[in-house]
């Protein structure tokens, strides 16, 4: 049965009707006029969804090269606020980057430390659930290559590029929407880093990490895979989790980044061993990173990687935005039936949590309170 929102008045408009939003290809969504050709100035044409979403993954075939444009855009709330992934294969230190475009400024919030092949087409998936962001190269691994926590943008439409060099239009049509993915890779190190850059696309805000550039091979022997934890521009440092080394020096690069942070008298933490230890670490860190919106369950999820913690942080995200009023208008552009469908999905997932059952029951009540209040 098709759900008809109570706010809809007769006659019912086509835009008010439900349609599939998971495991569905862009070509189908185009046929039902739910994906359109979009001129994303100044970057060129993309295919984008008509409607906004909260927790969703997009999977697309992307050619790894050096295009001066986003490859996939997620949660584009407006022209000043969105996330995107960008391949940059000729860069010595980062072949794949996750960027936040917030209030018109660009900040790198995650980067992949492994080499990618120039002009190879990768099946790429970008998933967001609550305040957790995960980027996959699906033919290379079943767990994300980049995992980040960021709470700034709660909803928006989704797009994939279609300019010929990066992803021909026919490949853009094979992009598909999926349910969000988990679990994450656990952190191998947690460090604090200074920030550089001026926030432009050419010189984004980004963490300052140790480098050892081999100019002949154009590689950085100290590059690592890292993801930020809820970085805000008012803080002049960024807390990051490191989940992998590189092909040249392996995990030795991680130790070098730890030593570099110590030399700058910045924080270096041993990753927590369990949920309780993660919560205690978060409470200590929150005393300094007072601007964090993401909570203790976000921290537990990013540092430990267990998928049960994903459900807790998602419930916290909705509860904080709607009940506590952090972002009361965060979901105003999301179709009502899509919000109800998404919340129902998370309620079912919370019921299957095994590791922290008591916490899951509390968070289930949070989602029920969100449903009752509305958005």
Mean pLDDT confidence for 125-129: 97
d(CA 27, CA 31): 6
Find where tokens 């109570």 sit. 6
78: number of Cβ within 10 Å: 9
Q: Does residue 349 form part of some domain?
A: no
Q: How confident is the model at residue 27 (pLDDT cuts 50, 70, 90)?
A: very high
289-340, pLDDT tens digit by residue? 999 999 999 999 999 999 999 999 999 999 999 999 999 999 999 999 999 9
- The CATH number that applies at residue 62 is 2.60.120.560
Please give the backbone phi and psi of residue 127, each rounded to the nearest 5 degrees, phi first. -120, 140
d(CA 267, CA 107): 21
Q: Does residue 324 form part of some domain?
A: no
Contacts of 155 (CB under 8 A, 6+ apart): 52, 53, 54, 75, 77, 330, 331, 333, 334
3-class SS at 179?
A: coil
Which of 56-60, 180-184, 292-296, 317-321 is least confident?
180-184
Q: Does residue 28 form part of some domain?
A: yes
Q: Does residue 298 form part of some domain?
A: no
Q: Taking the model in full, what pTM does it have?
A: 0.93
Helix, strand, coil percent values for the chain (each to nearest 5): 25, 30, 45
Q: Does residue 42 form part of some domain?
A: yes
34: enclosing H helix or E strand: none
Could you tell me if 278 and 301 are in contact, meaning their C-beta atoms sit under 8 angstroms apart? no
Q: Does residue 331 form part of some domain?
A: no
Residue count of the chain: 375
Could you tell me if 162 and 45 are in contact, meaning their C-beta atoms sit under 8 angstroms apart? yes
Q: Please tell me the total count of domains within the chain.
A: 1
Range of the domain at 240: 14-288
Q: Does residue 314 form part of some domain?
A: no
Mean pLDDT confidence for 356-370: 97
What's the chain's average pLDDT? 92
Q: Does residue 171 form part of some domain?
A: yes
CA distances from 132 to 3, 36, 147, 150, 240 (A): 29, 27, 7, 6, 14
């Amino acid at each position: 049965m098709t759900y008809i929102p109570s706010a809809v008045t007769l006659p019912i408009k086509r835009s008010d009707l439900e349609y599939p939003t998971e495991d569905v290809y862009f070509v189908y969504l185009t046929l039902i006029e739910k994906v359109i050709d979009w001129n994303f100035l100044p970057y060129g044409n993309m295919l984008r969804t008509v409607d906004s979403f909260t927790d969703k993954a997009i999977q697309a075939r992307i050619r790894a090269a050096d295009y001066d444009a986003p490859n996939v855009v997620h949660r584009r709330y407006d022209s000043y606020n969105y996330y995107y992934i960008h391949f940059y294969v000729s860069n010595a230190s980062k072949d794949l980057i996750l960027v936040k475009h917030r209030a018109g400024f660009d900040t790198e919030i995650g980067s992949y430390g492994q080499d990618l092949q120039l002009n190879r087409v990768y099946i790429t998936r970008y998933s967001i659930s609550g305040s957790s962001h995960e980027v996959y190269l699906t033919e290379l691994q079943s767990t994300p290559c980049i995992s980040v926590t960021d709470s700034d943008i709660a909803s928006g439409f989704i797009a994939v590029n279609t300019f010929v060099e990066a992803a021909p239009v026919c490949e853009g049509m094979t992009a598909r929407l999926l349910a969000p993915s988990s679990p994450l890779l656990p952190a191998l190190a947690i460090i604090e880093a200074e920030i550089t850059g001026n926030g432009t696309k050419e010189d984004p805000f980004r963490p300052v990490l140790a480098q050892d550039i081999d100019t002949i091979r154009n590689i950085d022997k100290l590059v690592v895979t890292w993801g930020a934890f809820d970085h805000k521009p008012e803080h002049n440092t960024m807390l990051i989790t490191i989940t992998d080394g590189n092909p040249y020096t392996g995990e030795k690069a991680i130790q070098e980044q730890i030593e570099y942070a110590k030399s700058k008298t910045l924080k270096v933490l041993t990753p927590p061993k369990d949920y309780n230890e993660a919560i205690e670490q978060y409470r200590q860190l929150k005393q300094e990173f007072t601007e964090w919106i993401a909570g203790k369950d976000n921290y537990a999820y990013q540092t430990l990687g267990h998928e049960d913690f994903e459900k807790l942080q998602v419930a916290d995200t909705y509860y904080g935005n709607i009940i506590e009023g952090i972002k009361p208008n965060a979901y105003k552009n999301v179709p009502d039936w899509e919000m109800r469908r998404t919340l129902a999905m998370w309620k079912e997932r919370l019921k299957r949590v095994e590791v922290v059952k008591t916490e899951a029951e509390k968070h289930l009540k949070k989602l029920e309170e969100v449903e009752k209040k509305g958005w």
